[in-house]
Amino acid sequence: MVTAAQPHALPATGVPSVRAAAVRHLGPNWYAAVMGTAIVANAGATLPAGFPGLRTGCTVVWALSCVALVAVLAARALHWTHHRDQARAHLLDPAVAPFYGCLSMALLAVGAGTLLVGRDWIGLGAAVAVDTVLFVAGTAVGLAAAVAIPYLMVVRHRIEPGQASPVWLLPVVAPMVSAAVGPLLVPHLPAGQWQESFLFVCYAMFGLSLLATLVMLPVIFARLVTAGPLPLLLTPTLFLVLGPLGQSTTAANKFADVAGGVLPASYAHGFTAFAVLYGVPVMGFAMLWLAFALAMVVRARREGMGFAMTWWAFTFPVGTCVTGAEGLGKHTGLAVFDGLALVLYAALVAAWAVASVRTIRGLLDGRLLAAPGTPRTP
Please state the three-class secondary structure of 66-102 as a single string: HHHHHHHHHHHHHHHHHCHHHHHHHHCCCCCHHHHHH
Is residue 144 a contact partner of residue 217, using CB atoms and an 8 Å limit?
no
Would you state the pLDDT for residue 372? 75
335-371: per-residue pLDDT in tens? 999 999 999 999 999 999 999 999 999 999 989 988 7
Would you state the pLDDT for residue 22? 84
Asked whether the whole model's pTM tops 0.85, one would answer yes
Would you state the pLDDT for residue 144? 97
Q: Give the residue ranges of the chain where pLDDT is below 50.
A: 1-15, 377-378
Would you state the pLDDT for residue 230? 95
180-235: per-residue pLDDT in tens? 999 999 999 999 999 999 999 999 999 999 999 999 999 999 999 999 999 999 99
Residue 91 phi, psi (nearest 5): -65, -30
Burial class of residue 116 in the structure, from the number of CB atoms within 10 Å of its CB (0-12 exposed, 13-18 middle, 19+ buried):
buried
Is residue 22 a contact partner of residue 369, using CB atoms and an 8 Å limit?
yes
What CATH number has the domain spanning 20-369? 1.50.10.150
